[in-house]
Each structure stands twice: as C-alpha cells, then as structure tokens.
C-alpha cells in the first residue's frame, strides 16, 4: 500500500526518540491505525542530506481501463438511436392514442439518451487525451528534475574545483612572493656590484657606502638618487620586488 492510494491525509512518521543534537533514527511511516506503508522514495540531495519524498496526490483516473471508454459510449449511443427509430416506427403503426404517445415518448427519451451518450463519448476522448498529456508532462518533469539534480552536483563539483585551484594559486603566489627581493635587498645587491668608496674600512660595500654617507651628506644624496634610479629601472624591466 502506497501513500497515494490512501484516503487519510495524516501519516505517522515514526522515530526511535525525540529530536536531539545527534538526531533520532527513522523507523517507518504508518497510518493512523498503525499500519506500515510505503510512503515514498529516499533521495540524496546535492548538499549531502537525504530526504523522503511523499507523494500524496491521488492516482489519475484512466477512462479506458475503468470501462468508460469513448468506444463503449458510442456503441451505447448507437443502440439508443436504434431504439428511438424502433419506437418511432411503432408509434406510426398504432392507432390507439395512449400507445401512440407512449411510443413517441420512448422514442424521444432514447434520442435524448443517445445525445447524452455521444457527449459522454466526446468527454471520454478528451479525458483520455488529457491523461496521456499529463503522463507525458510527468515524465518530462521527472527528466528535468533529474537533469537539475545532475547540474547541481556538477555546479558543486565546479565550485570545489575552483576553490581548490584558487587555494593552489594563492599558495603559488605566496611562494613566488617569498622569493622576491625587497627594495632594501635590491639596494644591497646594487651596492655589492658597485666599486667600494675610497678609504672604505668595511668589507661590505653597502655598509661602506652607509658609513661614508653619514659623514658626507652630498655623497648620500647622490648615491641615494643613483640607487633609487637603478631600482626603478630594474622594476620597469619586469623584475618584481616584495614590499
């Protein structure tokens, strides 16, 4: 027995305990009188959770299978027309007023029944077409829902991949940045390749230039301008420095 075949709108979803942080375990779905039913289908959602889909819609009527087909209505209408012609003929053959009008009444009733049956046949045909159309739409909707679920999974996978690539890219940039020289380190390198100042006592050219610059402000100004110009030229050539 499924949920769509039941008349009650109340179903009992049974667990082994009340709501809790760890969550109770699902047992089954029952009717109000305690009968276990197949209430729906379990589906895994794209977010990793599970859901029980319960379809409470009543099953669609199928005119052909239930015996009310357009063909049967048409045959019944033809039979009523035959009766109408029969009673009309009998009405013309009798001379008794009572029998005559009774036959005429029966003929009219049979003719009306034939018209109603033909209208019912047309309605049955329309219902059959609507039933087929609804079934096709249901199948199409299920296919669309399946495609949407697959697209959600693909989208989540794409987001995960993009996040992983972004993390790897940032790690790569951090590693590249860690290998870059600062302006201070670049200035030291420039001074290392520059000739040592005269009367320098330090073995480190950078340190020697610093010492002389403290004693000679003009030397500091000219050397500072030269080093900064070289640094900007090196950066303009494409060498990246770390701030």
Give tens-digit pLDDT for 129-161.
Answer: 888 888 888 888 888 888 888 888 988 888 888
- pTM beyond 0.85: the answer is no
| R_g of the chain, CA atoms, integer Å | 47
Query: Taking a C-beta distance cutoff of 8 angstroms, is the pair 25, 16 a contact?
Result: yes
- pLDDT surpasses 70 at 219: no
pLDDT at 129: 85
Q: Provide the 10 A C-beta neighbour count for residue 110.
A: 20
Cα dihedral: 219, 222, 225, 227 (round 10): -60
* Rounded CA separation 100/90 (Å): 8
């Amino acid at each position: 027995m499924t949920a769509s075949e039941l008349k009650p709108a109340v179903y009992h979803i049974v667990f082994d305990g009340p709501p809790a942080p760890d969550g109770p375990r699902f047992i089954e779905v029952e009717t109000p009188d305690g009968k276990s039913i197949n209430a729906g289908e379990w589906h895994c959602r794209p977010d990793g959770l599970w859901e029980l889909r319960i379809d409470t819609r009543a099953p669609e009527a199928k005119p052909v299978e239930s015996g009310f087909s357009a063909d049967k209505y048409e045959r019944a209408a033809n039979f009523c027309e035959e009766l109408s012609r029969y009673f009309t003929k009998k009405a013309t053959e009798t001379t008794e007023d009572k029998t005559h009008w009774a036959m005429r009444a029966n003929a009219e009733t049979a003719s009306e029944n034939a018209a109603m049956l033909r209208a019912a046949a047309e309605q049955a045909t329309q219902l059959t077409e609507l039933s087929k159309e609804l079934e096709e739409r249901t199948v199409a909707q299920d296919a669309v829902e399946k495609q949407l679920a697959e697209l959600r999974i693909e989208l989540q996978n794409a987001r995960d991949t993009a996040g992983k690539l972004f993390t790897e890219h940032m790690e790569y940039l951090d590693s590249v940045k860690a290998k870059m020289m600062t302006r201070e380190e670049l200035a030291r390198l420039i001074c290392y390749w520059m000739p040592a100042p005269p009367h320098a006592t330090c073995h480190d050219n950078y340190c020697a230039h610093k010492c002389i610059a403290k004693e000679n402000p003009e030397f500091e100004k000219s050397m500072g301008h030269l080093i900064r110009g070289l640094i900007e030229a090196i950066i303009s050539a494409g060498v990246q420095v770390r701030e």
